[in-house]
């Protein structure tokens, strides 16, 4: 996101005890190319979303029209999953490059399917591209998605059915008894 000139919303509190020493410099090692010049976009991190929603609520005290951008509803009065979907539905209709870090947190399976269909719809409109870090087999099922595995020292493309998350979900659904420990702790 830094390499693309996209602002990463920061929490007012740095809750991490020790920063990742590579996090702020990673963009320096990445090359980017643009066909028609850089585009706007955003970075979504589920861990900072509630802070964003609280700030938006404070800003809306002075300008209630700000909430129109999110369907006219306060993000903090909705459930966490509903507020995420309101944000996604409004933000991703704007042309841009979008980075999402684990957007599946706080989303029910039906909301994950709703997000997946939103991503497909917006992608087919041709004005948005998504780069998503996820553990969700629901989101990895996006047609035409390029999936990369970070499970080995070399980052490599991987087929959807070969991801560890797909295999775990599939095996669990086929036979949950194999995964459930019945011994008392």
pLDDT, one tens digit per residue, over 67-79 is 888 888 888 888 8
Instruction: Indicate the pTM of the whole model.
Output: 0.80
User: Please, are residues 134 and 102 in contact by the beta-carbon 8 Å criterion?
Assistant: yes
Q: Measure the N-to-C terminal CA separation of the chain; round to a whole number of Å.
A: 44
Over residues 121-160, the pLDDT tens digits come to: 999 998 899 999 999 999 999 999 999 999 988 999 999 9
Surface-to-core class of residue 67, CB atoms within 10 Å of its CB (0-12 exposed, 13-18 middle, 19+ buried): middle
List the one residue out of 141, 159, 42 whose CA is nearest residue 101: 42
Residue 158: beta bridge partners?
Answer: none
DSSP E strand boundaries for 16-112? 41-45, 96-101
DSSP E strand boundaries for the chain? 41-45, 96-101, 128-133, 148-149, 156-157
């Amino acid at each position: 996101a830094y390499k693309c000139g996209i602002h990463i919303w920061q929490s007012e509190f740095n809750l991490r005890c020790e920063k990742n020493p590579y996090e702020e410099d990673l963009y320096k090692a990445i090359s980017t190319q643009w066909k028609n010049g850089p585009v706007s976009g955003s970075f979504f991190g589920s861990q900072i979303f509630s802070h964003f929603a609280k700030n938006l609520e404070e800003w809306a005290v002075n300008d209630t029209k700000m909430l129109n951008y999110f369907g006219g509803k306060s993000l903090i009065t909705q459930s966490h999953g509903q507020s995420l979907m309101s944000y996604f539905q409004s933000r991703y209709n704007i042309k841009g490059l979008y980075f999402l870090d684990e957007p599946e947190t706080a989303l029910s399976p039906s909301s994950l399917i709703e997000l997946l269909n939103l991503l497909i719809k917006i992608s087919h409109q041709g004005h948005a591209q998504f780069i998503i870090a996820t553990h969700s087999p629901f989101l990895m099922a996006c047609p035409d998605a390029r999936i990369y595995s970070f499970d080995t020292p070399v980052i490599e493309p991987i087929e959807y059915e070969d991801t560890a998350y797909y295999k775990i979900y599939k095996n669990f659904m086929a036979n949950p008894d194999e995964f459930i420990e019945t011994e008392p702790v």
